[in-house]
Every structure is written in C-alpha cells, then in structure tokens.
C-alpha cells in the first residue's frame, strides 16, 4: 500500500473514532432514555464501520466478522431489549442525577484529556496505522465508566457499561488489530447475556421498588 | 486599488441583498414541512420596504442608546460581514481585522441590543436582555475555542488566509477530526447566536420564553427594519463563515471574471443549502427550556475544546 493511501486510511480511522467519541458526549448530554438507547445504537454502527475500515485496510478478515456481530448484537438486538425495558418503565427521562449535565460534560472533557495524557508516551512506540485511536478508545472507556457513576437509573447505567465495552473493542482493534475471533465471539455473547440479565433485573427492580433508581437498593424493605 | 473598492462594494451588495432571501427561504422550508404553502421567499424584502416607510414610534422614557442601537447593530454586523470571505477568498479588507475582531464586532452589536432592551424599561425587554446576556456569555467561549482550532490548523487567524489555504489545500493539516468537532461546535453556536430554534423561536412574539423578539419589542418603523435586517445579516455572516471555513471549494481564488461568477454561484448554492438544513432542524426540534440551553451550549464548548485537543494529539 502506498504511503499516501496509508495516511488517508489512518485519518479515516481517526475520523471514525472521533465520531464515536462524539456519540459518547451525546449520550452524556441526553436525558431521554430512548434517545440514549438510540445514540448507543448509532455508536455501535459507527464502531462497526470503523472496524470494517480497519479490516479493509489491513486485509485481516476476521475483523469483518466481529464488525458484523457488532451490528447484529449491539446495534439491533441490545437496543431492542433496552427499548422494551424502557417501554415497561413509568419514566421516560432522567431528571435527577448524581452530577448534573453541564458538570458531567466538563468532567468528560477532562477525562478525554486525561486519556490523551496517559496514552501520549505509548502511542509513538506503536507502528500500526490505527495507533492514534488508542487515546480515543481509552477516553470512551473512561466516559462509559463515568456515566455508570453519574447516572442513577439502571437503564443509563447499562448504557454506560455497553459504552465501556465499545471502547474496549475499539481499543483492541486499534492496539492489536482485534482480538482472536474466538475471544471476540465470547465477549459478544457475554455482553448479550449481560444485557438480557440486566434487562430482567431492571424489571424486578421496577416491580420491587416502583422505580429503577439504583440508589434505592440500599434502603431496607420488609 | 480600484479592484479592491469594487470588490468591497460588490461584497456589501451581495450580503445586504442575500440576507432577507435566506430568512425567507428558512420560513418557506418550515412552512412546506408543516404542509402550509407559506409566504414567498421574497416576502422579507417586502416587509423591510414596508417597515422603512412606516413612521417610527419612540417611547419618551428612552435615551439616545435606543435610537443609536439600530445603526450601531447594523453597521457592526455589516463590518463583520466584510471581514469574511464571501465569494472571493482574498477579501480586500482582510488587513482590517482577523477572526477575533469578527467575533467581537458581532458581540458589540449584541451588547448594544442588550442595552436597548433595558433602555425602554419594559418588563419584556429586561427579560429578553438578561436571557440574551446568558446566551451570549455561554456561546462566546465555545465560539472562540472552535475558531482557534481552525486557526491552528491553517496556521493563521486571518480569515482570508484560512479560506484561501483550505480552498487550495496547501500548507494545512488535513486531518478531518478537529474540523468536524469545530464544525459541530460552530453550528450550535450559530443557532444560539442568531436566535434559531433550539435556543430561541424567531417565529413568535407571544411567548414568555422569547429572547431576541423580547428585546426588540419596543422598536417600530425604520428602526425595526434595521434591527431585523441586521438579524438576517448576522445569520448570513454565520452561514458564510461556516460554509467558507469548512467547505470553501468553489470560491474564487483569483480575480478572473469567470472565477468570480462561479464563486458567487457556488456561494449562493452552499448558503441556501445550509439555510434549508436550518429550516429542517427548526421543524424537527422543539425549543429547549431556558435552563436546558446551558446543556446544549456546554456540548458546544466541549466539542470546541475537543477540537483543540485533537489538533495536538492526532499529529502524534
């Protein structure tokens, strides 16, 4: 591959990762639960596109399979499960959170910078064309983690968890051109089963407490 | 020298002539999307002509600020428009001010409009002014940061240099990610600064949540015409800034007549396209509650910040 097209490919991968980060901020700034789920689906589609681009640039075929699985599981199945959960709940939007939205956005901006500072010494050592995405993937993991802490509703906490998983997938793709396929498939089924279990658990939470606010789990009940 | 004067005159005429058309176009798009026929796209010209003929009524409690503001607002907005490359990449006035001067020329107009809103002493004007001050103070950091991100990529704060370099694709870093982030930030800022839908509703005089309309409620006659024209001009300046910074291709990079004509045609198409996008956005989204505006502008600020960070990080 010529130098120019390699540079262009690297920039396209960077652009895809930047768009992924953009959807993270959309999730953080969003109060409506269904819109959060939609943004997660969009993020998964972008992740699959970025992975497919990496597969195309490197000629490693098993990344295509992982990208296809991402579309099927994270962009179609899990959003559908979460939508069903949200439909059963009596809340459509999250009004009270541990950290309000403008502060969350600022903290997430800080987390992105932190991720960049942490990866700064590592990135020049890499030689893959996707190496710049490592910083972004770490930022996405941190933002997902922060979403789980900042939000109270079980559904947004699940989305935070799934965003973290997306960040890990991007990290694996950018740092090592993806994990072995068998590990990849295992992770996908774990995530799917995890989302299913959390969906059922959210139903139970709703039945027991009339709310999906996870902070209520600490209150004692007869 | 003669070329420069002619170009400045031409740019002034284009800006003044196109801005009511853009306002009319957005209204038309919104009307069509609401299954109405709507007024023609040239209705704002007729409105302005009518307002210029009407006798202005000025409250006896107002000071000179009230009557001076329409002129200051109009002049500062037009001056800001002359700093932006419109259809030729090298504007003759590019020595007069860079991108920072542009931001603060627009802020000068906003400042006087806020004062004029307070001047008449009506409750609506005061409310509008206080809200406009909130919005303006929140958009300014986002706008400055996104503009710096672009200026860093082009290596200059001079708008003509930025547009010229990008149009010819010479000497700039072509990594698209910082540009994308800065574009998203600047677009949100443009919507907020020009009082479009997620922040303010330009179509109503009857809402308690209005911002721009509340400030200009006391104006009538030719003063109102100037304020409305300046508002249209500000919208056009923002649209021009966005299309020419992020997609300047087609703009005239030389003074050949053919290139100038093509540049003008391409400019009109691009600006109209962006106006249609704004019309669609206005139809798709509801106005945000006033206290939620900070969330949206927070997103714009963070995007602009990320654009700056990306610029440094993605070059390894």
Residues of chain B with Cβ-Cβ distance to A99 below 8 Å are: none
Give the number of other CB atoms < 10 A from CB of residue A185: 15
Burial class (CB in 10 A: 0-12, 13-18, 19+), A192: middle
Task: Find the closest chain B residue to A133 by CA distance.
Answer: B314
Closest by Cβ to A112, choosing from B294, B301, B306 = B306
Residues of chain B with Cβ-Cβ distance to A124 below 8 Å are: 316
Please tell me the distance in Å from A208's CA to the nearest CA on chain B. Answer: 32
- Inform me whether the pLDDT recorded for A184 exceeds 90: no
Residues of chain A with Cβ-Cβ distance to B294 below 8 Å are: 102
Instruction: Report the mean per-residue pLDDT for chain B.
Output: 87
Backbone angles phi, psi at A18, to 5 degrees: -65, -40
Distance CA A138, CA A128 (A): 17
Q: Report ipTM (2 d.p.).
A: 0.77
Weakest-pLDDT range from A34-48, B158-172, B292-306 = B158-172
Mean pLDDT in residue range A195-211:
79
For testing contact with chain B, the best of A9, A18, A126 (most B CBs within 10 A): A18
Sign for the pseudo-dihedral over CA of A164, A168, A169, A171: positive
Report the b/e string of A6-16 with b at 16+ CB within 10 A: eeebbbbbbbb
pLDDT of residue A163: 93
Q: Where are the domains of chain A?
A: 3-218
- Inform me whether the pLDDT recorded for A45 exceeds 70: yes
Q: Is A126 on the interface with B (CB under 8 A)?
A: no
Q: What is the DSSP letter of B144?
A: H
Task: Find the closest chain B residue to A109 by CA distance.
Answer: B302
Q: Where are the domains of chain B?
A: 2-313
- Inform me whether the pLDDT recorded for B203 exceeds 70: yes
Nearest Cα residue to B115 out of B128, B104, B134, B103: B128
Distance CA B172, CA B165 (A): 7
Weakest-pLDDT range from B21-25, B27-31, B177-181 = B177-181
pLDDT of residue A222: 58
- A vs B: CB pairs below 8 A: 58
- Inform me whether the pLDDT recorded for B75 exceeds 90: yes
Distance CA B9, CA B11 (A): 5
pLDDT of residue B314: 67
Tell me if B197 sits within 8 A of B279, measured CB to CB. Answer: no
Closest by Cβ to B298, choosing from A102, A120, A124 = A102
Mean pLDDT in residue range B72-84:
93
3-state secondary structure of A59: coil
| Most confident of the following: A3-7, B99-103, B151-155 | B99-103
| pLDDT, greater one: A115 or B201 | A115
Q: Is A59 on the interface with B (CB under 8 A)?
A: no
Closest by Cβ to B295, choosing from A11, A29, A135 = A29
Per residue in A97-134, pLDDT tens? 788 888 898 899 899 989 988 888 887 777 776 777 88
Of the pLDDT bands very low, low, confident and very high (cuts 50, 70, 90), residue B70 is very high
């Amino acid at each position: 591959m010529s130098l120019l097209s390699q540079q262009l490919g690297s920039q396209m991968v960077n652009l895809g990762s930047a768009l992924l980060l953009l959807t993270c901020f959309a999730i953080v700034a969003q109060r409506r639960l269904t819109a959060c789920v939609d943004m997660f689906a969009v993020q998964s589609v972008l992740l699959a596109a970025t992975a497919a681009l990496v597969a195309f640039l490197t000629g490693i075929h098993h990344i295509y399979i992982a990208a296809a699985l991402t579309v099927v599981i994270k962009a179609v199945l899990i959003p559908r499960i979460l939508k069903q959960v949200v439909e059963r709940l009596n809340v459509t939007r999250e009004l009270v959170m541990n950290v309000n939205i403008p502060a969350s956005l600022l903290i997430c901006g800080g987390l992105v910078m932190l991720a960049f500072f942490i990866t700064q010494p590592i990135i020049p050592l890499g030689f893959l064309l996707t190496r710049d995405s490592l910083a972004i993937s770490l930022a996405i993991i941190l933002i997902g983690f922060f979403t789980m802490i900042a939000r109270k509703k079980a559904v947004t906490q699940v989305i935070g968890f799934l965003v973290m998983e997306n960040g890990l997938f991007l990290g694996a793709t950018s740092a090592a051109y993806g994990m072995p396929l068998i590990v990849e498939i295992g992770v996908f089924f774990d995530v799917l089963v995890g989302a299913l279990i959390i969906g059922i658990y959210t139903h139970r939470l709703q039945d027991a407490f009339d709310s999906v606010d996870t902070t209520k789990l600490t209150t004692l009940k007869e | 020298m003669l070329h420069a004067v002619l170009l400045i005159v031409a740019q002034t005429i284009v800006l003044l002539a196109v801005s009511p058309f853009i306002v009319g176009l957005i209204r038309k798009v919104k009307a069509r999307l609401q299954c109405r026929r709507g007024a023609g796209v040239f209705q704002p010209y007729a409105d302005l002509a009518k307002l210029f003929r009407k006798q202005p009524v000025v409250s006896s409690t107002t000071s000179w600020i009230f009557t001076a503001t329409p002129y200051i607002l109009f002049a500062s907005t037009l001056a800001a428009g002359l700093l932006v490359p419109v259809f030729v990449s090298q504007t003759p006035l590019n020595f007069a001010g860079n991108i920072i001067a542009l931001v603060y020329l627009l802020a000068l107009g906003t400042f006087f409009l806020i004062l004029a809103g307070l001047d008449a002493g009506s409750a609506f004007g005061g409310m509008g002014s206080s809200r406009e001050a909130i919005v303006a103070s929140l958009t300014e950091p986002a706008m400055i940061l996104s503009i710096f991100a672009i200026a860093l990529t082009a290596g200059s704060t001079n708008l003509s240099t930025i547009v010229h370099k990008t149009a010819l694709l010479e000497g700039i870093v072509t990594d698209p990610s910082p540009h994308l982030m800065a574009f998203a930030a600047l677009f949100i800022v443009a919507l907020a600064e020009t009082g479009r839908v997620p922040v303010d509703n330009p179509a109503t005089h009857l809402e308690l949540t209005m911002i721009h309309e509340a400030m200009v409620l006391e104006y009538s006659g030719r003063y109102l015409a100037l304020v409305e024209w300046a508002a249209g001009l500000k919208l056009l300046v923002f649209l021009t800034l966005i299309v020419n910074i992020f997609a300047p291709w087609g703009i005239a990079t030389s003074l050949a007549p053919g290139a100038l004509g093509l540049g003008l045609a391409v400019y009109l198409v691009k600006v109209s396209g962006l106006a249609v996008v704004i019309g669609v956005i206005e139809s798709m989204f509801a106005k945000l509650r006033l206290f939620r505006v900070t969330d949206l502008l927070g997103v714009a600020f963070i995007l602009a910040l990320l654009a700056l960070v990306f610029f440094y990080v993605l070059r390894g």
